[in-house]
Structure 1
Amino acid sequence: MNSIFLRLYGGLLLALCFIGAITYAAVELVNHYRSDIYRERMARGTFYLMAEGYQRQTGDEERDRWSQVLSRLFSADIKLETGEALKLTYRENLHLDEGLVVMRLNDDEGYADIIYQLPGEDEYITTRMTRVSEQQARATAVLILNHLAHFPQEQWQQRLQDLQSHFGYPMTIEPRSAITLDAEQRQRLNRREVVIALDDSARINSSIRIYAPVADTGKVLVVGPLSLFDQFPIELLLVAGALSLMAVALATYLQVRPLQNRLRQLDRAVSQLGSGDLTAYANIEGSDAIGQVAATFNGMTSHIRRLIESQREMTRAVSHELRTPVARLRFGLEMLADIESGEQRREKLNALDHDIEQLDQLIDEILTYARLEQGTPNIEFKPVAVVELCEQLQQELEPIRGEIAIAVEADPSDLQLDGEERYLHRILQNLVTNALRYARSQVVMRISEQDDAVVVDVDDDGPGIPEHERERVFKPFARLDKSRHRASGGYGLGLSIVKRIVDWHGGAIVVAESPQGGARFRVILPREQKGQHVLGGRIT
């Protein structure tokens, strides 16, 4: 996945999915905890009154009768059990010691076992509830009225305030005239029934109130409002939304920051190059679009540095190389004016013509090298018979070889490779003519195969090249022995041109010692270019 946009969008999508899953799990966990707290808060007051009723009973029979009364009120089996029978956990014991209600939920079966400890005793009220119903609400109101019945009327308000610490909702005694009920609900109150009224006027959460007539006092016990459990209250949604947005912002920042840093590095490198610093380098890794741009930029700066350095070397070398033939021409022209003999004048003119020819050859080599330095030319790779090319060159050099023999050895004799014939010809021509300058009696072109490559060795029996000088011979205008090189007529550009063409063909050239004792130039070229086509320095 090299596309930076796919990586960015993919990363953000994964982050959003992860954040969504985490948010959902967190909300579910919080709701589970809230629901436990809600159920315990709603049940605690009721079980406190149950426990108070048990402790008013003086014997086991009375407690059994109280259990039966409670069971009828709540339509559930309510009884007392010991802690040993219940097998309470450490956490449950802590809750019970604090006067809290413990609920053992069984979501699969759809019920909850509720446990409450009698204060100061090792007995526990236990029951199993399958659902919350109106009957349980009415039963709670009955227990409250039963509690108040044990005290004088003037103490009721105070007793309700004392009970408030055990209940999770308010309780008051109001005159009938102060409450708002419809006609049917008032009739039920007149019949001394407990009335449950739903209040859904609130936009956020609904609630219920319990109205229970208090004997013949003309007053009503009002329990509530009891808020219904809201799975997703606005506060929880706001908190979850804010945390999710923060997580998305953090994920976006973590995705964009590396991209921004890499772009900033690239911008610094470009600014550095724009200010004239050719050592600018964009240290950016990766195969995406930015990494490719950075690699191209680094290649460009490297190529610019090489071209400028080559230009400097060329300028220095050209000025040095041109100085000698130009000085000889000037000196020859000055002498020509003083020569009176026709024969001597012709000899001097021939010498001047020779100097001009050398100067022309030098300029031609310089122009050739400069043209090759401009970049990779258009190369159309085609099969080339290497042995035939060597034999053709052998015939072409026959007139200038003198007493030095040129031999061609091939194994096998039908080797071919993909390349540009005229450039391959230039490689062999430069190597063989260079060998002819130093060979004593023989130059051999040996062609062989090595894996998927063709190897061409050009050997001579001359003085050879010292090992520490073998890399330098490919630099332009390099001379190992200036006097000998000058005598041989070279300018130090032929091997540089060879190195450039070999690089174009994806090959390599090395210098070693030949079997004849002289120098060996080994050219290794791939047999197949695999359909590659080089256009203006770019391989497609």
Structure 2
Amino acid sequence: MIRLLVSLYLVVFISIIAINQGSELIWQHWVYQAPDELRHAKQVAKSLQASVTDAPSSNSSLNTLHVDEVAWLPEQRSQLLQGEVVTTYTEQNHAVLTFLMKDKQTLVQLGPFMPVEQAVLPKYLIKLCSFLLLAVLLMFWLRPLWRDLMQLKYVTSQLAKGQLDISIAPSRFSAIANLTSQFHTMAKKVANLMSNQKHLVNAVSHELRTPLARLKFALALMHKDAPEQVSLMSEDVQEMEILIDEMLSYARLEMAQNELQFNAFDFVELLHEQLEKLKRITHKQIQFECQLEQLTIVAERNYIARVMQNLLQNADKYGKEHIYLAMNYEQGQVQLLVGDDGMGIESAVREKVFEPFVRLEKSRNKTSGGFGLGLAIVNKIVNWHGGYCEIETSQWGGAQFVVHLPVKAKT
């Protein structure tokens, strides 16, 4: 940061000094010129000063006065004593030429002459060119910095999309070259971690499923000898399979964002499909509210179905007798509500339930089930679609999940 500030200060400081000096030089030598009348008057004043040896008489047409009658500035007095012609201006901006006679006491004044015309247009043109030159110099300083920042943006976007093959070339002249190199090193480490995660998912998929299949086969052969123990062991094996499936689903979800395919489909039809599936597996009373007969939206249908499925299964798992399902559409936003009459979720922990492997129970058991990944999957899918999830209290005092999906839709 210090290097960045120092380099910026030096560039601006040196540029301003160089531009000011150059502008002044151009103005004095090529732009600014005194009016012809004033230049001619100065030549006449010098000739007159050289030709008049004695002080002019009282009846002379020349305007004379004593040198002490005027409060001269030290620089002006010094110029007069050196024999130079001093130019002063009246309140009306008229020029008056004054020179000192050889007696060093008598002053002769010529004028007043017409006001000096200001060269307005060249003056502002020089200012404009000066600012443009300063902008060009700053652009040369900013170009390496801008290039590195764009590379950082590219790397972060590639990592967000799951692209692991990334490479950047930091500029040696950039003020943040060290930061860019360190960020590139960090990005490579992140890419390696993501790659290792992919390999881990594949290993879990192949290496764990095979011994579980052998265990299930062996338990099937032992069922006749110890049916109760085999039944309990079979449940444990099945639970491990479910856990593996959930872990694989969540791991695949982490890398599936760049493979999303958004297509148009009927959201109400999908809602009815999931509702019919729920009715086949639950005995609880389902209260359904939807005022629309059709709602076409553009989204990833399979993942939206997964959101509905996870929320309905969660309501069926923790609800006692009632499940609430509703859908609203207002101002380009779909609102899905899923509630139950269970124990509910306290306000202090509502944000945590969307994190992976987070469960509200102190200890997990087979009756409650679950591994803390269902709601994490819901939250990730909804975030992909630009929406968000929140938890409220249902009409029965249980939990009610509200999913907001900002999508383009046609009713």
Question: What's the counterpart of residue 272 of structure 1?
Answer: 182
Report the residue type matching 1:271 in the other structure: S
Measure, in 1, the Cα distance between the counterparts of 2:80 and 2:197: 92
CA-to-partner distance for each residue in 1:341-372, whole Å, 9 max, x for gaps?
x7444555555544443333222222111111
514-523 vs 347-356, which moves further = 347-356
Distance 1:411 1:304, change over 3 A: farther
User: Which residue is 2:160 aligned to?
Assistant: none
Query: Match for 1:379: what amino acid?
Result: L
Cα distance, 1:116 vs. partner?
Answer: 5.4
Shift, 1:378, TM fit: 2.9
Q: Does 1:473 align with 2:357?
A: no
Which residue of the other structure, out of 54, 62, 66, is the alignment partner of 1:80? Answer: 62
Q: Secondary structure in 1 aligned to 2:53?
A: helix
Distance 1:372 1:355 in 2: 26
Is residue 371 from structure 1 mapped to residue 353 from structure 2 by the alignment?
A: no
Report the Cα offset of residue 259 of structure 1: 4.2
Given candidates 353, 368, 381, the residue that maps to 1:501 is 381
CA contact (8 A) 1:460 1:518 kept: yes
Q: Which residue of 1 aligns with 2:240?
A: 359
**d(CA) in 2 for partners of 1:526, 1:274:** 35
Q: How far apart in 2 are the matches of 1:477 and 1:17?
A: 64
| Worse overlay, 256-265 or 37-46 | 37-46
1:257 matched to 2:134: no
**What residue number does 1:119 align with?**
103
* Alignment partner of 1:433 is 2:343: no
Cα distance in 2 for partners of 1:451, 1:128 equals: 78
CA positional deviation for 1:411:
3.4
Q: Contact 1:114/1:128 (CA < 8 Å) preserved in 2?
A: no
Where in structure 2 are the equivalents of 1:182-193 lying within 5 Å? Answer: none
- Structure 1 residues 439-448 or 404-413, which shifts more? 404-413
Q: Secondary structure at the match of 1:487?
A: coil
1:39 Cα deviation (Å)? 8.5
**1:162-202 CA distance string (max 9 Å, x none):** xxxxxxxxxxxxxxxxxxxxxxxxxxxxxxxxxxxxxxxxx
Deviation, structure 1 residue 485: 5.2
Give how far 1:40 is off. 5.9
1:380 aligns with 2:380: no
How many percent identity over aligned positions? 28
Query: Are 2:32 and 1:48 equivalent residues in the alignment?
Result: no
> Secondary structure of the residue that 2:259 maps to in structure 1?
coil
Partner residue in 2 for 1:392? 273
SS of aligned partner of 2:62 = strand
User: Is the alpha carbon distance of 1:376 and 1:128 closer, same or farther for their aligned partners in structure 2, counting shifts above 3 Å?
Assistant: closer
Contact 2:328–2:335 (8 Å) recurs in 1 = yes
Q: Is the 8 A contact 2:265 2:296 kept in 1?
A: yes
Residues 1:271 and 1:112: Cα distance change in structure 2 (over 3 Å)? closer
Distance in 2 (alpha carbons) for counterparts of 1:488 and 1:256 = 64
Paired positions, count = 338
1:528 matched to 2:385: no
CA distance in structure 1 between the partners assigned to 2:175 and 2:64 by the alignment? 74
- What is the aligned counterpart of 1:449 among 313, 317, 329? 329
Q: For 1:188-203, what aligned pairs fall within 5 Å after superposition?
A: none
* Displacement of 1:409: 0.9
Is it true that 1:27 corresponds to 2:11 in the alignment? no
In the superposition, relative to structure 1, how do residues 117 and 464 fare at CA in structure 2: closer, same or farther (>3 Å)? same
Q: In 1, distance between residues paired with 2:181 and 2:63?
A: 84
**Could you say if the C-alpha distance between residues 113 and 481 of structure 1 is closer, same or farther in structure 2, counting changes exceeding 3 Å?**
closer
Structure 1: which amino acid aligns with 2:338? V
- Give the Å deviation of 1:486: 3.4
Q: How far did 1:268 drift?
A: 2.1
8 Å CA contact retained: 2:81, 2:104:
no
- Listed one character per residue, the Cα deviations across residues 317-362 of structure 1 (whole Å, up to 9, x for unaligned) are x9xxx9xx97xx69x96x999x7xx744455555554444333322
Cα distance in structure 2, aligned partners of 1:81 and 1:343: 139
**1:62-461 to 2 correspondence within 5 Å?**
79-83=61-65, 90=72, 94=77, 96=80, 99-102=83-86, 117=101, 119=103, 124=108, 254-260=138-144, 263=148, 264=174, 266-273=176-183, 275=185, 277=186, 343-345=224-226, 349-401=230-282, 403-461=283-341
CA contact 2:98–2:108 (8 Å) conserved in 1: no
Task: Decide whether the 8 Å contact of 1:460 with 1:516 is kept in 2.
Answer: yes
Tell me if the contact between 2:266 and 2:295 (Cα under 8 Å) persists in the aligned partners.
Answer: yes
- The question of whether the paired residues in 1 share the 8 Å contact of 2:354 and 2:376 is answered with yes
The Cα of 1:385 is off from its aligned counterpart by 2.9
What SS does structure 2 have at the residue aligned with 1:394? helix
State the Cα distance separating 1:517 from its structure 2 match.
0.9
Q: Which has the larger radius of gyration?
A: 1
Helix, strand or coil: the match of 2:257? coil
Aligned residues of 1:117 and 1:125 also touching (Cα < 8 A): no
Q: 1:525/1:46 Cα in 2 relative to 1: closer, same or farther (>3 Å)? A: same
Of 339, 344, 352, the match for 1:464: 344
For residues 438 and 20 of structure 1, what CA distance do their matches in structure 2 show?
A: 80
| Runs of 5+ unmatched residues, structure 2 | 1-11, 90-94, 114-130, 149-173
Moved more, 377-386 or 418-427: 377-386
TM-score (norm 1): 0.49
State the AA in 1 paired with 2:182: Q
State the shift of 1:519 in Å.
0.8
Code of the residue aligned with 1:516 in structure 2: it is W
C-alpha distance after superposition, 1:390-430 (max 9, x if no partner) = 221121122211x2122321134444432122211110001
Task: Confirm or deny: 8 A CA contact 1:443 1:461 kept in the other structure.
Answer: yes
Shift in alpha-carbon separation, 1:416–1:23, aligned structure 2, 3 A: farther
Alpha-carbon offset, residue 38 of structure 1: 11
Superposed displacement of residue 26, structure 1: 3.2
- Write the distance in 2 (CA, Å) between the matches of 1:343 and 1:127: 132
Question: Unpaired runs of 5+ in structure 1?
Answer: 1-10, 68-78, 106-110, 130-246, 279-299, 531-540
For 1:104 and 1:476, locate their aligned partners in 2 and report how far apart those are by CA, in whole Å: 85
Q: CA deviation at 1:273?
A: 4.2
